[in-house]
Structures are given as structure tokens and as C-alpha cells.
Amino acid sequence: MTDSSHSFSIEVIRARSTKQRVRAALFDFDGTLSLIREGWQNVMVPYFCEVLTEVADPNIETHDDIERVTRDFVDLITGKQTIYQCIRLAEEVKARGGTPLEPLLYKKEYLRRLQERIQNRVDLLSHRKAKPDDFVVPGGRQFLQILRDAGIKLYLASGTDEFYVKQEVELLKLTEYFDGGVYGAQDDYKTFSKAMVIDRLIKTNDLAGAELVGFGDGYVEIENVCAVGGYAVGVATNEANPNGTIDDWKRRRLLDAGASAIVPDFSAPQKLFDFIVNP
Ligand SMILES: [Mg+2]
């Protein structure tokens, strides 16, 4: 999947301070390292639009209006647990005079539809008809290895349910890299957030915020890493076609969230490592 003809470049908004060494790195999973759930937005947005169209007044809102509203709130919450997008859907239903379902029911139906879309990929991986790296963002594995070799502790935190995250990390043969652990959404959604994982890892390792670097393709992890004084790298991979080009839409949103640098992927892992660790 890696197109070796492109030249890897890092868009630098703010360079990292060289005073602090890097002791821990936090990765988001879907879209940042994993391509298994590529296209989930194309499942969630049409489903949510379907729900809202049932209750919206067509004289007030066109289908396009509904789609725009939906896309906006789905994007804004990307990176948080899926349930938050479903809670917002229920609020939008209510705001239009409808009687919403329990958010958990919206989540179940969304996951059922998404599973249909990704089952084929999961099957390919579990039956070894595809190589794990076919579904890893280019260079991801090598980059994790370089970080580990440098003694940096690695954490993974995802808004996807922990059961699935662990299963998919394993399918991609990435579990061994995350010596800090793999964390995902819990049924009791208030017991997990990326901010909580960050707080805990800072305390456990007696870390200064500036000793943390984060990698993600969504708002939440970028904001959370910046909030503790860490260095946040936005990974703007074009997931449908991970050929080293930037997804402009992701890039813009990552910059809005406060990303300090933008990369297309990890396809020049040593260069990226040097930039971050020995700027
Ligand atoms: Mg993501």
C-alpha cells in the first residue's frame, strides 16, 4: 500500500522543545494506526440521517441540511467513545420533537451495520488471507518498533469498545508494542476517556506533560495531549487510499484541534522519530 514514489514531509506548526526528552507516546487506533474500520463515517452518517429524517419537518430541513448537521456533530465528537455520538443523535431527535431511543440502541444498530462493512477485512486477517500490514497505516509498525527500541513507553487509547480494539490490535499483530497497555471504551462509558488514560499514564510514570507525544487523526486525542502540555502530531492519512497523500479535510480539523505537526502517515519512520525526539 505504500507508494514509495512520494516524498515524505512533515508540516511543522510548532517544533517540540528539546529540553524534555520523550518518555511516553500515546496513539489513537482507528485511522491513526488501523485501517480496519476505514469508512465508518459512511455507515454512521447515513444511519443517523435516516433516524433524523424520520422526525424532521421537510418544510424546515432538507435532506442536505440534515446531512450537514449530522456530519458536523459526528466529526466534532470523533475520537470520543461512540456512545457520545449516539447521545447527541438522541438529543437531535428530541430537538425535532421526536421520541429518541436509548443511545445504547443507536450504538448497537450502528455497530451492526459497521460490522457488515468490516467483517470481510476481519475475515481476511483472521484467515491469514491478508497480511496485517495491509491494514496498518504505512510505516506504523516500524515507527512503533523505533519508539520501543528507544525505550519510550507506548500506550494505545481508542473510542471504540475495548473488546474490539484489543481484538483488532491483535489481528494487526501490534499488541506487543504497547507495553503501557491498550485501552478502549467501556460499557459504563463514564469510566473511560482518553483524558483519563493520559492522566493515569502521567501519574504512573511520574511524567511531565512535555515528555508525552501523541499521535491521532481526531480532535479528541489532539486536544487532550495538548491540554497536558504534550506534543500532538496529527496523522492525516488518506484512509481509503493510503498512498502518502494528505487527507485535507482531516488536516484542517487536526490543525483546528491544535496539532503541532501534521504527517501523512509513518512511511519515513526514522525521519519522523528524529524530528520528534532529536529535533
Ligand atoms: Mg481515529
* 63 and 187 assigned to the same domain: no
φ/ψ (deg, to 5) at 270: -70, -40
Cα(56) to centroid(ligand 1), Å: 30
Per this entry, what is the length of the chain?
279
Q: Are residues 25 and 45 in the same domain?
A: no
Determine the distance separating the centroid of ligand 1 and the alpha carbon of 279, expressed in angstroms: 26
Report how far ligand 1's centroid is from the alpha carbon of 34 (Å): 8
- Among candidate residues 107, 126, 145, the one where a domain is terminated: 126
87 with 107, same domain? yes
Q: How confident is the model at residue 2 (pLDDT cuts 50, 70, 90)?
A: very low
Does 24 share its domain with 76? no
State residue 6's pLDDT score. Answer: 58
Residue whose cell numbers read 497536558: 228
What are the pLDDT digits (tens) for 109-162? 999 999 999 999 999 999 999 999 999 999 999 999 999 999 999 999 999 999
Together in a domain, 199 and 157: yes
Domain extent, residue 268, equals 11-35+136-277
Please check whether residues 149 and 259 belong to one and the same domain.
yes
Beta bridge partners of 215: 27, 233
Across residues 11-23, what is the average pLDDT?
91
CATH code of 22's domain: 3.40.50.1000
Strands 24-27 and 212-216: parallel
* Per-residue DSSP letter, 276: H
What is the chain's mean pLDDT, rounded? 94
Which tens digit of pLDDT belongs to each residue from 156-195? 999 999 999 999 999 999 999 999 999 999 988 889 999 9
Residues 70 and 207 in one domain: no
- Tell me: do 23 and 155 sit in the same domain: yes
Are 21 and 210 contacting, i.e. CB atoms less than 8 angstroms apart?
no
Distance 135 CA to ligand 1 centre (A): 14
Averaged pLDDT, 193-205: 94
User: Residue 59 Cα, ligand 1 centroid: separation in angstroms?
Assistant: 36
Task: Over range 216-222, report the average pLDDT.
Answer: 93
The alpha carbon of 179 and the centre of ligand 1 are apart by a number of angstroms equal to: 20
Mean pLDDT of 59-83: 91
- In this prediction the pTM is 0.91
Instruction: State how many domains the chain has.
Output: 2
Q: What is the per-residue DSSP string for 113-173?
A: HHHHHHHHHHHHHHTTSS-GGGGB-TTHHHHHHHHHHTT-EEEEEEEEEHHHHHHHHHHTT
Shared domain for 24 and 54, answered yes or no, is: no
CA 106 to CA 31: how far, in whole Å? 22
Distance 183 CA to ligand 1 centre (A): 13
